[in-house]
């Protein structure tokens, strides 16, 4: 829409049943690309169902990092949405609550288990 500005926010969480391996740090590896595709699907599906859904334009998984435990992998993503003065403002707290609810109190994302205290939104 005219006058719309592309805005971004970061989304981070930790899976507890995806073992971190060095090939998850390598963006061109097969493991990185396949895991990135799956995560992007789950994240995009959630955000399309959220309050920013009509304005949501997509997320890019920017990386995977080692978690505290052997089976933990931290997931980093940058998400985008269109914003302008006539649209509802981005409310980080509201979106956080929606995502918490949609992930069963931050415990499930598709077939991945989540660390309940790991969901983080910034934007």
C-alpha–C-alpha distance, residues 49 and 54, integer Å: 9
Which pLDDT value is given to residue 123? Answer: 66
Q: Which long-range contacts (CB under 8 A, 24 or more apart) does 103-106 make?
A: 103/46, 106/13
CA distances, 99 to each of 19, 74, 79, 86, 116 (Å): 23, 17, 14, 24, 12
Q: Is the dihedral of CA 67, 70, 40, 112 positive or negative?
A: negative
C-alpha–C-alpha distance, residues 11 and 23, integer Å: 22
Which pLDDT value is given to residue 70? Answer: 85
What residues in the chain have per-residue pLDDT under 50? Answer: none
The reported pTM is 0.91
Which pLDDT value is given to residue 4? Answer: 72
Which pLDDT value is given to residue 19? Answer: 95
Domains of the chain: 5-122 (3.30.70.960)
């Amino acid at each position: 829409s005219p006058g719309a500005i592309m805005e971004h926010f970061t989304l981070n969480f930790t899976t507890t049943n995806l073992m971190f391996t060095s090939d998850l740090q390598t963006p061109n590896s097969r493991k990185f690309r396949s895991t990135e595709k799956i995560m992007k699907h789950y994240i995009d599906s959630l955000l399309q169902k959220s309050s920013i859904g009509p304005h949501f334009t997509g997320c890019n998984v920017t990386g995977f990092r080692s978690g505290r435990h052997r089976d933990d992998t931290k997931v980093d993503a940058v998400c985008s949405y269109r914003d302008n003065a006539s649209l509802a403002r981005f409310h980080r707290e509201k979106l956080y609550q929606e995502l918490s609810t949609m992930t069963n109190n931050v415990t499930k994302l598709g077939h991945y288990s989540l660390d309940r205290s790991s969901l983080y939104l910034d934007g």
